[in-house]
Amino acid sequence: MPEAAAFEKEGLGPVDLREARSRVARNARTTPLLESESLSERCGHRVAFKCENLQTGGAFKMRGATNFISRLEPAARERGVITYSSGNHGIAVAHAARRAGVRSVVVMPRTAPAVKVDRVRALGAEVHLAGTTSLDRKERAEALQKERALAMVPPFDHPWIIAGQSSCGVEILEQMPDVGTVLVPVGGGGLISGVALACAYHRAGIRVIGIEPEGAAKMSSSLRAGGPVTLPSVASIADGLLPSRPGDLTFAVTRSFVAEVVTVTDDAIREAAVFLLSHEHLLVEWSGAVGVAGLLSGVVKTFDAPTAVVLSGGNADPAVLLGLGRA
């Protein structure tokens, strides 16, 4: 694994991932991998869901947040932590911080779904609402960080975050040893980077495919450009996948170990989330349903390989998914 070894100096070697998994196990669940009879029949091979919608805090983000906060020095933990998030990362940081006895501050967009804002507050975090873009909330968080000397917990572009998310990939390999394809939602790239590294270190030949919304195709655009690019604007119902730029580190890992990144429409995302709720009895938010959207729409080709689809989050209002309410 010559390419994989290049990331060891970044703190993302096999030992780093192994140690991160041990830390993650203190707070996060080993989520189930559930086979889908309907999708398996449709695709002609085994398809199973990695149910991060059932994760502590309702999303995979608990993994990275737990690993990061666990690695802070005592002095930093005493001062507290801050992050910026459209929702799930904020929930995870608030949750992990509360369990560690650490004060937390979360900056969220004014457009964040009420269910996510309420959850962050209920976990004891101090919430600030700032603008509508990832840059708006990042700037506000950095100002508060400087003012209060808080430790910043980045949403995706940090080795401790990526290593924490890699535990999701390790679990998939243990639960589905013959897996040939793994479908992963792509926001800033932390989850897909961790899953791709886990696959690269444990077994060659697994195709990791990223799925992002058509209106926020920052990773696929960056791959075509040969380097991280910032989109002038982003728009999608998948609010958790709306960073306008991938991270430098997450881009590098994705370019090295991800087979391809494809996009799906908002209509396909809606269809997938409703399918999951009505046919599979799984409540999955728009962002978490993009992998299933790729399968149902035919955008993803799995080449008859046993396939794991990461359902990355479940912090959604079922009435909204079914068109009966407002976000």
Q: Please report the DSSP string for 178-240 in residue order.
A: T--EEEEE-SSSHHHHHHHHHHHHH-TT-EEEEEEEGGG-HHHHHHHHTS----S----S-GG
Per the listing, tokens 């679990």 go with: 171
In this structure, what are the phi and psi dihedrals at residue 107, rounded to the nearest 5 degrees? -100, 125
Tell me if 199 sits within 8 A of 56, measured CB to CB: no
Q: Residue 227: name the closest of 201, 255, 267, 258 by CA.
A: 255
Residue 68: which residues within 8 A CB-CB, separation 6 or more?
96, 153, 154, 158, 160, 161, 164
Q: Which residues pair with 260 in a beta bridge?
A: 209
CA distance 160 to 173: 21
Q: What sign results for the dihedral spanned by CA atoms 169, 316, 291, 157?
A: negative
DSSP 8-state assignment for residue 156: S
Which residues are catalytic, by number? 61, 312
